[in-house]
């Protein structure tokens, strides 16, 4: 059975962008639980640095600087 991962990711991304509250919640969770990202990400880290979400969301950084989103 072949799972259409690219199609699923595109659909999920579309759903997140149409629901700002859901997008913000996901971004908040990703930044808070960034320590849980695996140190080794097979396939990706063979030639790249492991990925880690930012410590704060872009929205949080802009609010700190006094800019509106």
pLDDT at 67: 73
pLDDT at 45: 75
What does the domain layout of the chain look like in residue ranges? 5-64
pLDDT at 68: 67
Q: Read off the pLDDT of residues 38-52 as tens digits, 9 standing for 90 and up.
A: 777 787 777 888 777
> Would the pTM count as exceeding 0.85?
no
* H/E stretch holding 3: none
Q: How far apart are CA 16 and CA 23, in angstroms?
A: 5
**Residue 45 exposure: Cα atoms within 13 Å on the Cβ side:** 10
């Amino acid at each position: 059975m072949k799972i259409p991962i690219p199609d699923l990711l595109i659909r999920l991304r579309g759903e997140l962008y149409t629901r700002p509250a859901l997008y913000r919640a996901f971004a908040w969770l990703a930044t808070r639980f960034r320590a849980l990202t695996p140190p080794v990400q097979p396939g990706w880290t063979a030639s790249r640095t492991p990925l880690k979400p930012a410590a704060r969301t872009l929205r949080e950084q802009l609010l700190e600087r006094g800019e509106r989103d």
